[in-house]
Amino acid sequence: MNENLINDLSRNNMISIGIIGLGYIGSGVLKLIESQKEYIKKKTGKLISIKRVVDKDIIEKAAMFEPLFGDEIIFSSNADDIINDPAIDIVVELVGGIDPAYTYVINSLKNGKYVVTANKDMIANKGESLFSAAAGNDVDILFEASVGGGIPIIGPMKSSLAANNISKIIGILNGTTNYILTRMQKEGLNFENALSVAQELGYAEKVNPSADIEGNDAACKLAILSSIAFNSRVVFGEVYKEGIKKITLEDIRHANDLGYVIKLLAIGSDEGGSICVRVHPALIPKDHILASINYANNAVYLYGNFVGEVMSYGQGAGDRPTASSVVGDIIQIARNFDRQHKKPIFGCTCFANKPIKPIDEMENKFYALMEVKDRPGVLAKIAAVFGGNNVSIESMIQKQTQEGGSAKIVFITHRVLNKDMFKSVKEIIKLDVVNQVLNIIRVEDLQ
């Protein structure tokens, strides 16, 4: 064996990492790689070392970590120090958001570096151009941690489940909203109080929790999963979104009486050439496995034509679970690493171009809570509006009579087009026998 080949083999067994962003997750990744270095070496046959770390608050971060690592790691505040360093093999982007993270990642890929990221916003909005840049430079971008924290789902979908046609994904993809709804269900907290507790515990942002409670976070994750599952690019803006701010304790109690719990679901489905992608609260049966996913936990439930039903469950956020997925992607690259003959690990799987079906054209069952006048003829007038818009009623319960001559009624419809349901609601609101429509929530029987 000639000396050059020996040197090439030796260099391939040593992989240098650059981390951009040493916050909550980045610190976890650094600690995990260093603490598990020998274990990872035994698993991969490669010595993985962190060469450079970049952070905007680098003086503070360097003071924290230099006593642990000495001169082994070079700290700086300029991302180009990593992007343009020819000795860096893998760039780990943990800045978050789209800008400037996208610039860091696209330039890293163009420089022939593999990239690992936990950045759901970037992948859900800019995935197509990133995968194109990766393919054009014979590298790849891995992003297991962008969905579900430590839950393994993206890798399995691209490998062990890759032979299946996946027809549907149903996920509880946001720990904050799941925590809030669980506290409402189990302890009778109203939405505001449950949100306040979530903020105090760090599950929700204290200043602006809208990304979670309005469904944006879950929509990014659903766009990523749907792109992989249905082999067609789905971006964040194409996902229909409703949050949980309108969910009341009254809705939680009525759902319980009817045999349901309320969850914020992310649902993607391939319906014969078109894709449905939606995030919204839904009543789901108490006996379905997703109803048991409580507090800050996440779950992804999918249907494959050969594997059948599969569910992944676990902690959807946090420094340790997310770092676990980030380092898992690094190990995946390391196992296949050849500096002289680079190639994609999974590559982009979006070979189709399927249209997104508008929410109005989707079918759902619905829960409707109304406050009406307590007098004869009310139900006939409401039923006439429903019937005139092709909405049929599966069940109806009068929950209580109120002071002042009003009553509350819960309707559950059969499956109807969304546009027909919401046209009905607009007309029902105008009826003289209806005081107000308090809430409309979709019902998912998950059969």
Residues 179 and 306 in one domain: yes
CATH number at residue 54: 3.40.50.720
Relative to beta strand 308-315, strand 275-285 is unpaired
CATH number at residue 428: 3.30.70.260
In a domain, 347, yes or no: no
What CA–CA distance (Å, rounded) separates 148 from 269? Answer: 19
Q: Annotated catalytic, 120?
A: no
**pLDDT at site 10:** 60
Structural domain total, the chain: 3
CATH number at residue 208: 3.30.360.10
pLDDT < 50 positions in the chain: 1-9
Relative to beta strand 275-285, strand 240-241 is parallel
Amino acid letter, 270? D
Residues 66 and 179 in one domain: no
In a domain, 159, yes or no: yes
In a domain, 351, yes or no: no
Residues 282 and 158 in one domain: yes
Residues 27 and 129 in one domain: yes
Q: How many CA atoms lie within 13 A of 208 on its CB side?
A: 3
What CA–CA distance (Å, rounded) separates 25 from 95? Answer: 9
**pLDDT at site 68:** 72
Residues 9 and 103 in one domain: yes
In a domain, 104, yes or no: yes
Residues 225 and 182 in one domain: yes
Nearest CA to 261 out of 270, 252, 269 is that of: 252
What CA–CA distance (Å, rounded) separates 20 from 82? Answer: 8
Catalytic residue among 168, 221, 241, 365: 221
Residues 137 and 8 in one domain: yes
CA angle 135, 140, 142 (to 5 degrees): 140
In a domain, 54, yes or no: yes
**Considering the entire predicted model, what is its pTM?**
0.94
Task: Choose the final residue of a domain: 315, 349, 369.
Answer: 315
CB contact at 8 A, 226 and 275: yes
Question: What is the SS3 assignment for 20-42?
Answer: ECCCHHHHHHHHHHHHCHHHHHH
Residues 298 and 158 in one domain: yes
In a domain, 252, yes or no: yes
CB contact at 8 A, 421 and 390: no
In a domain, 18, yes or no: yes
Residues 142 and 179 in one domain: no
Domain span including residue 185 = 154-315
Residues 241 and 329 in one domain: no
Residues 181 and 273 in one domain: yes
In a domain, 285, yes or no: yes
**Phi and psi at residue 277, to the nearest 5°:** -135, 125
DSSP states along 114-139: EEEE--HHHHHHHHHHHHHHHHHTT-
Residues 379 and 430 in one domain: yes
